[in-house]
Structure 1
Amino acid sequence: MAGAALLVAVAAALGGCASIGPQRMGIDRSDYATHLRETNKEQLLLNIVAMRYGDAPLFLEVSSVISQYTREGSLHADIALGPPVDEADGGIGGSVLLRETPTITYTPLAGDRFARSLLSPIPPAALLGMIESGWSADILFKLATRSINGISNGGRDPLFAHTADSDFDRVIAVMGRLQRNRALQLHVEHEDGRKFSASARISPTLSDDEKADIDYLVRTLKLPGDRRGEFGIAFGAAQIAPDQLTIGTRSMFEIFAEMAQGVEVPAGDDDGRAGTPVADAGAPSALVAIHSGSRKPADAHVAVRYRGRWFWIDGKDAASKRMFLLAQILLSLNDTSGGASAPLVTIPTG
């Protein structure tokens, strides 16, 4: 009787109708999200380091993930048929095997999408839209702009090298301070698809410090002196009209090239293998600090292995982590392919 009961129990377990999918959904969703996020960070850092060594960036995007589960079971019974019959002469057993067979599809970023995502200037509407929604103007302008009304951000990478103007850092610091105090507000109005208009409005009520900041911007950026005015925003390398704020944006390729100047070049690779930044007293400081060493650190925000060495961003370096995060977001915004690159994760739930 005990053997028969065990047989029934094993058969019920093997033939049960409980679905695998719902049990796995929470685990799979968390695991895939974690690994997609980490591998995206690693891929971006690897490309930045590779560009420091003169290699072209190469992005392999995860276009789909299909995780298929199968449940396999087996049941066996050994029963003595001849007398005398003893339960010890027979046995009942079974096993259940849960098998996962994921299929991951990668799509290289190439052709028109490569040109739009990496070589085209960042869409001005995307950049200003972020500032309008509260992102710090000074941090975004430091990373993503080449100039404001002809005041140059400067660049250290030989491909994009240009001398920085001494006023640039103060200009963006003042704009960030006025933005946080709501003394200077940006407004972006989308007309359709790509067309938009943008303006910057000065608050009618200003403190003495804010008035001093506005006076500095008006004088340095050659804007009209009427503090009650509203300035239009245009895009280009130099100021287009007296009542306009003209902003030149970088491409993602240029941003990555500038970030690559923050790579700590190992001893022995400073003979030209890792390139040489432009030696300019007015060159801007590195956007990120990327360390190198023979071993992978335990507390890295992101770490990759390249040319036999480890490169990483320190987990405690808040400024570098912030710039790295913005680069990830801007890369996503700069892809105007209509979401074709978004990974599709399919997990069975029935």
Structure 2
Amino acid sequence: MPSFDELRKIAGCLLLVPTLALLSGCTSIGAGSLTRDRLDYGEALASSWKEQMLLNVVKLRYADTPMFLEVSSVIGSYQLQSQLNLIGTFSSGLTPNLPDTWGRGATLGAAALYTDRPTISYTPLQGDKFTRSLLRPIQPAALFQLVQAGYPVDLIFQLTTRAINGIYNRSSRPMSTRRADPEFYPLLDALRRIQLSEAIGLRLERRGPDEVSLITLRGSKLTPEVAEDIRLMRTALGIQPEASELALTFAAVPRNSRELAMLTRSILEVLIELGAGVEVPGKDVEEGRTAATPPPDPEEGARDQPLVRIHSGSKVPTDAFVAARYQNHWFWIENRDFRSKSIFSFLLLLTSLAETGVAPQAPVLTVPAN
């Protein structure tokens, strides 16, 4: 039987072990949560943006009012509390007139509390910000910057322009449906081939208080095919044969033969155009909830087809890139439709380009850890 002093030492060791364990665990939980929070909140923000964008495209198809809520801040607060109690009693039984017996007793208790209180702030898109982001046409120079970055010029112009030097694009909007001018699609094909040959570029110059955007055309070291495409472009747009620089401006028609006038769409117009191609239930058309999709024209080609295919159904899609529910129906983009996915994701970049003036602050993620 151990002595009283030995038992006291054992009890002291038992109390020391959990104490050291708690001290070793007193490290910051904020650093450890950084990777998890950044990825989780980033993925949640991206998914919610896609669903909101798809829902607004569908709502415009039904002549409903779109609503955009921006996430202005994300504040995550963590709190971790722990407590460990160890109580032991020992007696030697050496008290006079009492039996020589040993009494032993021990109580072990532990408690822990973990709290996660995220605070997310939303800002509705309205007023001047709504006008800048959705109603104001995209600047032509911003579109050519995308071209310089390698994005396909034919896709950009088909999605975002109404006219180039008076040559009009197709429109599927219910109130202003029209076919593309005969020269528009061949012009897009020629511009794409010229882009791939690196024969077209953008230069920004400061002329007095204004910054002027110039389109440059390389005239030497061209293959016969690219030279023919440039000639076709000059002829269609009414550009002088010897012009190597074109002033880029926002307008329906150019002022002279050395100007490239682009009548661009706003983000809201782009969304309406995409919404016109949404597949809707036939019952909704019969009941007057939305307009009927125009019947296919035998003369329409591949470029007349919807840029983004949005399907509809009564059940939740099983393999969707993005899905949203509206008026008891599901609308989605197929995960295997790479073209539709790419163009739909491209809308986020276009939304940023449409923003002018002071750039808004990105969502701030603040994670205090207690």
Q: TM-score, normalised by structure 2?
A: 0.86
1:121-172 CA-partner distances (Å, limit 9, x unpaired): 0122221211122222111111111111111112111244344212211111
Is 1:45 matched with 2:54?
Answer: yes
Amino acid at match of 1:114: F
2:217 alignment counterpart:
201
Is 1:23 matched with 2:32?
Answer: yes
The CA RMSD over aligned residues, in Å, is 2.5
- Is the contact between residue 234 and residue 240 of structure 1 (CA under 8 Å) also seen in structure 2? no
DSSP 3-state at the match of 2:194: helix
- Is the contact between residue 277 and residue 293 of structure 2 (CA under 8 Å) also seen in structure 1? no
- Is the contact between residue 150 and residue 238 of structure 1 (CA under 8 Å) also seen in structure 2? yes
Q: Distance in 1 between matches of 2:349 and 2:106?
A: 65
- Alpha-carbon shift at residue 14 of structure 1 (Å): 4.3
- Alpha-carbon shift at residue 191 of structure 1 (Å): 6.4
- Is the contact between residue 202 and residue 230 of structure 1 (CA under 8 Å) also seen in structure 2? no
2:261 alignment counterpart:
246
Q: Distance in 2 between matches of 1:122 and 1:78?
A: 72
1:75-154 aligned at under 5 Å gives the runs 75-80=84-89, 84-86=102-104, 89-154=105-170
- Alpha-carbon shift at residue 278 of structure 1 (Å): 6.0
Amino acid at match of 2:251: G
Amino acid at match of 2:279: E
Is 1:223 matched with 2:239?
Answer: yes
2:351 to 309, 317, 331: 331
1:211-268 CA-partner distances (Å, limit 9, x unpaired): 2212211221111123x62222222112321121211110000000001112110131
DSSP 3-state at the match of 2:283: coil
1:10 alignment counterpart:
18
- Is the contact between residue 3 and residue 91 of structure 1 (CA under 8 Å) also seen in structure 2? no
> CA 1:217 to 1:337, structure 2 compared with 1: closer, same or farther past 3 Å?
closer
- Alpha-carbon shift at residue 316 of structure 1 (Å): 1.4
1:167 alignment counterpart:
183
Q: Distance in 2 between matches of 1:337 and 1:242?
A: 31
Q: Distance in 2 between matches of 1:58 and 1:264?
A: 21
Number of residue pairs the alignment of both structures matches: 347
- Alpha-carbon shift at residue 186 of structure 1 (Å): 3.0
- Is the contact between residue 113 and residue 337 of structure 1 (CA under 8 Å) also seen in structure 2? no
Amino acid at match of 1:9: V
- Alpha-carbon shift at residue 335 of structure 1 (Å): 1.9
Q: Distance in 2 between matches of 1:323 and 1:52?
A: 18
- Is the contact between residue 11 and residue 88 of structure 2 (CA under 8 Å) also seen in structure 1? no
Q: Distance in 1 between matches of 2:351 and 2:241?
A: 37
Q: Distance in 2 between matches of 1:122 and 1:35?
A: 28
Q: Distance in 2 between matches of 1:308 and 1:208?
A: 57
Q: Distance in 2 between matches of 1:85 and 1:39?
A: 64
1:262 to 268, 277, 286: 277
- Alpha-carbon shift at residue 341 of structure 1 (Å): 4.9
2:173 alignment counterpart:
157
- Is the contact between residue 300 and residue 312 of structure 1 (CA under 8 Å) also seen in structure 2? yes
Q: Distance in 2 between matches of 1:38 and 1:194?
A: 40
Q: Distance in 1 between matches of 2:80 and 2:45?
A: 26
- Alpha-carbon shift at residue 349 of structure 1 (Å): 6.3
- Alpha-carbon shift at residue 18 of structure 1 (Å): 0.7
Of stretches 297-306 and 153-162 in structure 1, the one that deviates more from structure 2 is 153-162
Structure 1 unaligned regions, length at least 5: none
1:272-322 CA-partner distances (Å, limit 9, x unpaired): 312245679588432210011222223211111111221111111121112
> CA 1:173 to 1:302, structure 2 compared with 1: closer, same or farther past 3 Å?
same
> CA 1:12 to 1:95, structure 2 compared with 1: closer, same or farther past 3 Å?
farther
- Is the contact between residue 68 and residue 101 of structure 1 (CA under 8 Å) also seen in structure 2? yes
- Alpha-carbon shift at residue 27 of structure 1 (Å): 0.8
1:210 alignment counterpart:
226
> CA 1:90 to 1:134, structure 2 compared with 1: closer, same or farther past 3 Å?
same
Amino acid at match of 1:70: Q
1:21-74 CA-partner distances (Å, limit 9, x unpaired): 111111111111111111111111111111111111110000000101111223
2:67 to 58, 64, 70: 58
Is 1:315 matched with 2:331?
Answer: no
Q: Distance in 2 between matches of 1:190 and 1:51?
A: 40
Q: Distance in 1 between matches of 2:268 and 2:84?
A: 60
Amino acid at match of 1:288: V
